[in-house]
């Protein structure tokens, strides 16, 4: 089995006060773990058990809803956890900042557009920054546990930044105030990780 359920890359309380310890603990050990367990159950005994997760998702229309929903949930949370860090003052690489400025005009304009997408997404899902197949940056949202890797996504590409806008990601601290959650989420974005993913996706 090549699929694993890993610890967070930081302590559960490491993102406070932006995101509280109890939310992180429940989100990781209950929600994410359940997606992982059900994904493994869905692929056990099949060729998918030895297939890379990203390759499964790229062809997800060929597989069962369980693979799509739980495989997506498993993958999306991995990107989400790594999109955040307790480290302060991480900055986009020169290459990423240049691409953001070229695509959106400025970092502020990019953040505003991303925030609008995250806050305005109806219901549960994720907001993404991705590198399209044409090599350009794009902002998108997906419902439930879909993501831009999937061949069913409206905008396809490689995710490099993820914001989870399911209520379980923020309800204990922010209640129904998704805008306040997204504002706090920006404070812990891991630009080192985003920059690394941008470099890989741009090769």
Structure tokens at 47: 């060729």
Helix/strand/coil percentages in the chain, nearest 5: 50, 10, 35
Structure tokens at 49: 């058990």
Q: How much is the pTM? A: 0.96
Binning pLDDT at 50, 70 and 90, where does residue 203 land?
confident
Q: Which domain holds residue 182?
A: 20-203
- CB-CB contact of 117 with 130 (8 Å): no
Q: In 122-201, which residue ranges form alpha helices assigned H by DSSP? A: 171-174, 178-186, 191-201
Q: What percent of the chain has pLDDT over 90?
A: 98
80-89 pLDDT, tens digit each: 999 999 998 8
CA angle at 42 for the pair 40 and 44, rounded to the nearest 5°: 60
Instruction: Write down the pLDDT at residue 143.
Output: 97
pLDDT exceeds 90 at position 1: no
Instruction: Write down the pLDDT at residue 175.
Output: 93
Q: How far apart are CA 40 and CA 108, in angstroms?
A: 40
Mean pLDDT of all residues in the chain? 97
Q: Does a structural domain hold residue 74?
A: yes
31-71 pLDDT, tens digit each: 999 999 999 999 999 999 999 999 999 999 999 999 999 99
Instruction: Write down the pLDDT at residue 168.
Output: 95
Q: Does a structural domain hold residue 201?
A: yes
Q: What percent of the chain has pLDDT over 70?
A: 100
Q: Does a structural domain hold residue 116?
A: yes
Q: Does a structural domain hold residue 14?
A: no
Instruction: Write down the pLDDT at residue 192.
Output: 97
Instruction: Write down the pLDDT at residue 66.
Output: 97
Q: Does a structural domain hold residue 41?
A: yes
Cβ-Cβ contacts under 8 Å for 105 (sequence gap 6 or more): none
Q: How far apart are CA 133 and CA 138, in angstroms?
A: 10
Q: Does a structural domain hold residue 32?
A: yes
C-alpha separations of 56 from 44, 92, 118, 140 in Å:
14, 30, 26, 21
Q: Does a structural domain hold residue 118?
A: yes
C-alpha separations of 134 from 15, 187, 193 in Å:
34, 30, 21
Instruction: Write down the pLDDT at residue 36.
Output: 98
142-196 pLDDT, tens digit each: 999 999 999 999 999 999 999 999 999 999 999 999 999 999 999 999 999 999 9
pLDDT exceeds 80 at position 7: yes
Structure tokens at 197: 């993913």
Instruction: Write down the pLDDT at residue 176.
Output: 94
Q: Does a structural domain hold residue 142?
A: yes
DSSP 17-62: TTS-HHHHHHIIIIIIHHHHHHHHHHHTTSGGGGS-HHHHHHTGGG
The CATH number that applies at residue 136 is: 3.55.40.20
Instruction: Write down the pLDDT at residue 88.
Output: 85
In the chain, the number of structural domains is 1
């Amino acid at each position: 089995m090549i699929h694993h359920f890993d610890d967070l890359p930081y302590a559960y309380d490491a993102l406070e006060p932006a995101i509280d310890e109890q939310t992180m603990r429940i989100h990781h050990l209950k929600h994410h773990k359940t997606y992982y367990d059900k994904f493994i159950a869905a692929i056990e005994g099949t060729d998918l058990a030895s297939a890379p997760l990203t390759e499964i998702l790229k062809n997800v229309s060929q597989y069962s809803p369980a693979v799509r929903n739980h495989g997506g949930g498993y993958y999306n949370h991995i990107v989400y956890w790594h999109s955040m860090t307790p480290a302060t003052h991480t900055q986009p690489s020169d290459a990423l900042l240049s691409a953001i400025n070229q695509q959106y005009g400025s970092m502020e304009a990019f953040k505003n557009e991303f925030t609008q997408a995250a806050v305005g997404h109806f219901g549960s899902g994720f907001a993404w920054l991705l590198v399209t197949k044409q090599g350009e940056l794009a902002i998108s949202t997906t419902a439930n546990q879909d993501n831009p890797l999937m061949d069913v996504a409206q905008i396809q590409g490689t995710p490099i930044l993820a914001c989870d806008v399911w209520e379980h990601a923020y309800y204990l601290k922010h209640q129904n105030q998704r805008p306040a959650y997204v504002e706090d989420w920006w404070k812990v974005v891991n630009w080192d990780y985003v920059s690394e993913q941008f470099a890989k996706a741009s090769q």
